């Protein structure tokens, strides 16, 4: 499909730079696609979610934890000049090695030593060093750190900043508040360099009300990579290559979700990351199987969803893979109308913004569709 079909104009003042407080005070647009332009759009709030779901429904959230992935330092050991360096960690390779993007990648070469910070509690030598062991043409580098495992994790957490997306970081600097704001209440397994933002809206109080309503909570893990922020630059979606991300669906969770669905319960994916994990783990019959591995599943209109019934998600960037995904789920024209309404009604967009609860588009029973494969 042509990428420009997924474009839209968004006023700059609709981009949220801070979340609302409390988190469940965010607005929620309920989108129910209808036949012949008969969409139903209802303005609600996140705290209304228990009333919008029914006993037996299952919320599936991503429990990946965001690391303090943005590191500032300098290049050392090559002459007197020590130019400043900013690295964003994007994917762990092993206990001491990360792939990263370097701002101003021309400053570094293979073999260079980078030093992040001058003092700290974890790094008894007073700094965190990493050697550039590989560099590709796109500016991605591989960093081999001087520390390993949990010690390295602590050093990164001490020196790093929250990896706010470009549309926020370009307008203000990250601060201590972001370390809390840019983490969900479900965060457990470290590995994401971007938050699974639909989960940011939940509070302990909201979870208690959902449980009292009879709505079950289940967790998957997908470590979010930087590709979530990137617009599709190709003129056609067929020319776009997704970054792969590591995802886990346990046997226990798969069995619980299969059993709930067999009893008529709906699977509600909280965010695109939970959705892509489930779709990567689903068979053609919709049954979920345990999954642990890389997935680069790219969902565009025409995809046949197998594993989910509803989706809770934030408002996404123009031309992004995420807007393409929601267009595939609820229909492109429906989502264009929904976003137009959201912009006119003052909804807040992107990571710290409001959300929508999407119902699937109506489909002809004999429609033939094909699903892309996960790796």
Instruction: List, for residues 216-241, the tens digit of each pLDDT value.
Output: 999 999 999 877 666 788 888 888 88
Does 39 or 182 have the greater pLDDT score? 182
Q: Is residue 371 part of a domain?
A: no
Beta strands in the chain (DSSP E): 27-32, 40-45, 58-62, 64-66, 70-76, 84-94, 97-103, 113-116, 128-135, 140-145, 189-192, 216-222, 245-249, 267-270, 291-295, 310-314, 355-358
Give 107-151 as a 3 state SS string.
HCCCCCEEEECCCCCCCCCCCEEEEEEEECCCCEEEEEECCCHHH
97, 125, 160 - which closes a domain: 160
Percent of the chain past pLDDT 90, that is, above it, reads 66
Percent of the chain past pLDDT 70, that is, above it, reads 92
Judgement on whether residues 61 and 194 belong to the same structural domain of the protein? yes
Predicted pLDDT at 162: 84
Query: Which structural domain range is residue 268 located in?
Result: 3-66+182-358
Question: Mean per-residue pLDDT for 241-245?
Answer: 85
Asked if residue 369 has pLDDT above 70, the reply is no
Judgement on whether residues 194 and 146 belong to the same structural domain of the protein? no
**Could you tell me the pLDDT band of residue 176, with boundaries at 50, 70 and 90?**
confident
Judgement on whether residues 156 and 191 belong to the same structural domain of the protein? no
Closest to 320 measured CA to CA, from 234, 208, 251, 202: 234
CA dist 68 and 190 (Å) reads 10
Q: Is residue 19 part of a domain?
A: yes
Candidate from 110-124, 273-287, 318-332, 340-354 with smallest mean pLDDT: 110-124
Q: Is residue 9 part of a domain?
A: yes
Judgement on whether residues 55 and 97 belong to the same structural domain of the protein? no
Judgement on whether residues 24 and 124 belong to the same structural domain of the protein? no
Instruction: List, for residues 44-87, the tens digit of each pLDDT value.
Output: 999 999 999 999 999 999 999 999 888 999 998 887 788 888 89
Question: Are 223 and 66 contacting, i.e. CB atoms less than 8 angstroms apart?
Answer: no
Question: Are 235 and 28 contacting, i.e. CB atoms less than 8 angstroms apart?
Answer: no
Asked if residue 124 has pLDDT above 50, the reply is no
Predicted pLDDT at 292: 97
Asked if residue 252 has pLDDT above 80, the reply is yes
Judgement on whether residues 57 and 75 belong to the same structural domain of the protein? no
Predicted pLDDT at 228: 67
Judgement on whether residues 354 and 232 belong to the same structural domain of the protein? yes
CA dist 35 and 40 (Å) reads 10
Q: Is residue 169 part of a domain?
A: no
CA dist 358 and 322 (Å) reads 13
Report the Cα 244 to chain-centroid distance in Å. 13
For all residues of the chain together, what is the average pLDDT? Answer: 90
């Amino acid at each position: 499909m042509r990428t420009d079909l997924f474009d839209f104009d968004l006023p700059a003042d609709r981009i949220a730079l801070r979340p609302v407080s409390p988190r469940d005070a965010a607005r929620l647009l309920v989108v129910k696609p209808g036949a012949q332009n008969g969409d139903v759009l209802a303005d609600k709030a996140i705290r209304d979610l228990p009333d919008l779901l029914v006993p037996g429904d299952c919320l599936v959230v991503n429990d990946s934890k965001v690391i303090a992935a943005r590191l500032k330092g300098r290049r050392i050991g090559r002459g007197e000049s020590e130019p400043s360096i900013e690295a964003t960690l994007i994917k762990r390779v092993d206990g001491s090695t990360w792939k990263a993007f370097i701002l101003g990648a021309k400053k570094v070469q293979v073999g260079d030593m980078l030093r992040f910070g001058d003092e700290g509690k974890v790094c008894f030598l007073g700094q965190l060093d990493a050697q550039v062991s590989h560099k590709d043409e796109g500016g991605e580098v591989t960093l081999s750190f001087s520390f390993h495992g949990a010690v390295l994790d602590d050093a990164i957490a001490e020196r790093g900043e929250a990896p706010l997306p470009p549309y926020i970081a370009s307008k203000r600097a990250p601060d201590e508040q972001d370390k809390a704001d840019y983490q969900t209440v479900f965060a457990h397994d470290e590995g994401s360099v971007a938050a699974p933002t639909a989960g940011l809206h939940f509070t302990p109080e909201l979870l208690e009300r959902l449980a009292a309503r009879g709505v079950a909570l289940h967790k998957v893990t997908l470590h979010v990579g930087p590709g979530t922020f990137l617009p599709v630059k190709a003129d056609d979606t067929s020319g776009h290559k997704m970054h792969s991300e590591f995802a886990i669906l346990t046997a226990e969770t798969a069995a619980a979700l299969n059993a709930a669905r067999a009893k008529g319960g709906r699977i509600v994916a909280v965010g695109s990351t939970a959705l892509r994990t489930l779709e990567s783990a689903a068979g053609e019959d919709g049954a979920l199987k345990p999954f642990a591995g890389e997935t680069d599943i790219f969902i565009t209109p025409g995809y046949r969803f197998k594993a989910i019934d509803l989706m809770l998600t934030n408002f996404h960037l123009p031309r992004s893979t995420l807007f393409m995904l929601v267009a595939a789920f609820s229909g492109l024209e429906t989502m264009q109308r929904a976003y137009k309404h959201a912009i006119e009604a003052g909804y807040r967009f992107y990571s710290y913004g409001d959300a929508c609860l999407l119902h699937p588009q109506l489909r002809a029973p004999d429609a033939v569709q094909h699903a892309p494969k996960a790796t």
